């Protein structure tokens, strides 16, 4: 029984899920729930405070109002008690106290003592007042606010000797607003807008404009101001709910950014791990492939060498064939070893190129000669097109020969039913182009960019049974780039491939 451990990528994804996504989701849910609670309690607290503030303000206004009325009544009483008092002396009060809009003095029999005459309207109000107040009120000598029509009248009984006198006082609404309400409300500080409103919700006084402000609490006055109320308004956008929301938004953005950074880090690490895992797999394949590639020609050389040594091959033609196999396999072996060594030099950055002006045709011919035997054996149709006037080009002959050998080797390795190898050198623009084309298995378009990466080999089914290490084309690309050129591929699966090496005609200094 084989136990398959989850792959590092799977483990990494599971770790990412458990370590980041899960805590983030839990934190998000908790954050949301506590935000809702926080919002509700902030709102409750805020409204409670607003109610307290409103009722405190009514008390302050009433206190100031009663104190003002007390003072005025005190002055009236002092005047009334003066020896030789004549009602006319009350003019002084009316003249000096703007708070008093109308002042009347009436005796127990309902006779008007002050002022001398009243408008019919005021007279009516006094008559109604006399009906309103009770016998006991006269006897106790008390004071109260009485609503007559739409007006509030302060009624107070003064005892002067045995005869009670009734003082009726109407307040000046403008002075009341300015001196009592405004003075008190201006001293109240806070983010909310405080106002006094009348029975139709019209502001009598407001500390700031009330447009679009929401009313959050009201408190009624006592009998002194029965139709007015203190109201607290919340300016637009200043509700605790909104403040909490703003805080939550800032928090959510910060949290989101943090998550993005974490996820970004995870994705980057994931990619790195993925690449490293892939690289480790490719390297393992590389080692296996190279070992296999080394073993095959070595066993052939050994087998043919031993057979020759034992003198088992008597005919000269047979012996020559054995020698050719040994030579071909040793060449293949050296090519492979060269490739691996050059590749490791290239990896370390130790590969040096000796680029000098070189005739192209001999490089192609000599490289191709090494494949003569195998090409002939596999019945390849070979076409080489090199114009006789092709000028010499700056090249490292060994490196270019090695690159061409890799391309030719691949063309043979990945051949199909029709074996053709076409090599063609030409000048295109300001570059020398050398193409190696085959009619082999071809390469899928999505694989084409990847085949130049080190250790990369196209899916096993395509390359199955075909020896290789996956470094050949990486080396080809390096050689081309070292010359200031490039390598391109055109290929169709099932039809064949054409690799072209491009070398600039002039060396860049
Ligand atoms: P390998 O040692 O596997 O041949 P290379 O680097 O030379 O390594 O090539 C990389 C891969 O590109 C090969 O494994 C093969 O799948 C594909 N390839 C290269 N040349 C050809 C070709 N001429 N036709 C089809 N596929 C090719």
DSSP code string of 53-66: HHHHHHHHHHHHHH
463 lines ligand 1 (CB under 6 A): yes
Which of 287, 473, 474, 477 has most ligand 1 atoms within 8 Å of its beta carbon, as the pocket-test mutant?
Answer: 473
Mutate to test the pocket of ligand 1, among 457, 464, 474 (most ligand atoms within 8 A of CB): 457
**Reported pTM:** 0.54
Per-residue pLDDT tens for 230-275?
Answer: 999 988 877 777 777 888 889 889 988 988 898 888 889 889 988 8
Rounded CA separation 383/408 (Å)? 12
Instruction: Check if 411 has its Cβ closer than 6 Å to any atom of ligand 1.
Output: yes
DSSP 87: G
Q: What pLDDT sits at residue 1?
A: 47
Q: Residue 388 has what pLDDT?
A: 92
Residue 192 has a CB neighbour count (10 Å cut-off) of: 23
Q: Is any atom of ligand 1 closer than 6 Å to the C-beta of 496?
A: no
The dihedral of CA 156, 101, 188, 212: what is its sign?
A: positive
Which protein residue's CA is at the shortest distance from atom 20 of ligand 1?
410
Q: What is the pLDDT along the chain (509 residues), one digit of tens a residue?
A: 445 556 666 777 777 777 777 888 888 888 888 888 888 888 888 889 999 999 999 999 999 999 999 999 999 999 988 888 888 888 989 899 999 999 999 988 889 989 888 888 888 888 888 888 888 888 887 889 998 888 899 999 988 777 889 999 999 999 999 999 999 999 888 888 999 999 999 999 998 888 888 899 999 999 899 999 999 998 887 777 777 788 888 988 998 898 889 888 888 988 998 889 888 887 887 788 788 878 888 998 999 999 999 988 889 999 998 998 899 889 888 888 888 888 888 778 888 899 999 999 999 999 999 888 889 889 999 999 999 999 999 999 999 999 999 999 999 999 888 899 999 999 999 999 999 999 999 999 999 999 999 888 887 545 556 777 788 999 999 999 999 999 999 999 999 999 999 999 986 55
Q: How far is the CA of 42 from the centre of ligand 1 (A)?
A: 70
Per DSSP, the residues of 116-136 read S---HHHHHHHHHHHHHS-HH
């Amino acid at each position: 029984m084989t136990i398959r451990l989850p792959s590092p990528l799977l483990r990494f994804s599971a770790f990412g899920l458990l370590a980041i996504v899960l805590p983030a989701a839990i934190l998000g849910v908790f954050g949301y729930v506590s935000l809702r609670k926080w919002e509700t309690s902030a709102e409750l607290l805020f409204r409670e405070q607003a109610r307290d503030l409103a009722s405190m303000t009514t008390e302050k206004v009433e206190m100031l109002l009663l104190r003002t009325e007390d003072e005025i009544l005190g002055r009236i009483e002092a005047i009334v008690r003066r020896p030789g008092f004549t009602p006319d002396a009350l003019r002084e009060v009316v003249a000096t106290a703007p708070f008093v809009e109308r002042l009347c003095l009436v005796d127990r029999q309902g006779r008007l003592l002050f002022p001398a005459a009243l408008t019919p309207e005021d007279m009516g109000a006094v008559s109604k007042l006399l009906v309103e107040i009770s016998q006991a009120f006269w006897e106790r000598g008390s004071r109260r606010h009485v609503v007559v029509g739409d007006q509030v009248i302060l009624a107070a009984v003064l005892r002067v000797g045995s005869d009670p006198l009734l003082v009726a006082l109407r307040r000046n609404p403008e002075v009341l607003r300015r001196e009592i309400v405004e003075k008190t409300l201006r001293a109240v500080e806070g983010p909310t807008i405080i106002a006094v409103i009348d029975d139709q919700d019209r502001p009598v006084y407001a500390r700031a404009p009330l447009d679009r402000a929401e009313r959050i609490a009201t408190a009624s006055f006592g009998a002194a101001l029965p139709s007015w109320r203190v109201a607290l308004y919340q300016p637009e956008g200043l509700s605790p709910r909104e403040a909490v929301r703003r805080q939550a938004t800032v928090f959510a953005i910060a949290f989101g950014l943090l998550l993005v950074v974490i996820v970004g880090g995870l994705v980057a690490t994931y990619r790195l791990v993925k690449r490293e895992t892939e690289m480790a797999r490719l390297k393992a394949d590389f080692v296996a492939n190279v070992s296999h590639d080394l073993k095959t020609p070595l066993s052939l050389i050994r087998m043919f060498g031993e057979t020759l040594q034992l003198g088992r091959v008597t005919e000269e033609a047979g012996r020559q064939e054995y020698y050719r196999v040994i030579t071909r396999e040793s060449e293949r072996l050296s090519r492979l070893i060269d490739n691996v060594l050059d590749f490791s030099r290239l990896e370390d950055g130790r590969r040096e190129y000796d680029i000098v002006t070189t005739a192209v045709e001999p490089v192609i011919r000599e490289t191709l000669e090494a494949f003569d035997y195998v090409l002939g054996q596999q019945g390849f149709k070979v076409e080489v097109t090199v114009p006789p006037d092709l000028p010499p080009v700056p090249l490292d002959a060994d490196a270019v020969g090695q690159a061409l050998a890799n391309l030719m080797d691949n063309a043979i390795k990945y051949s199909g039913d029709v074996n053709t190898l076409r090599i063609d050198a030409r000048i295109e623009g300001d570059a020398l182009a050398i193409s190696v084309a085959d009619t082999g298995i071809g390469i899928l378009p999505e694989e084409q960019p990847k085949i130049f990466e080190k250790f990369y080999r196209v899916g096993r089914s395509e390359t199955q049974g075909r020896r290789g290490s996956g470094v050949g084309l990486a080396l080809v690309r390096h050689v081309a780039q070292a010359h200031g050129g490039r390598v391109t591929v055109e290929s169709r699966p099932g039809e064949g491939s054409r690799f072209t090496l491009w070398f600039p005609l002039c060396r860049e200094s």
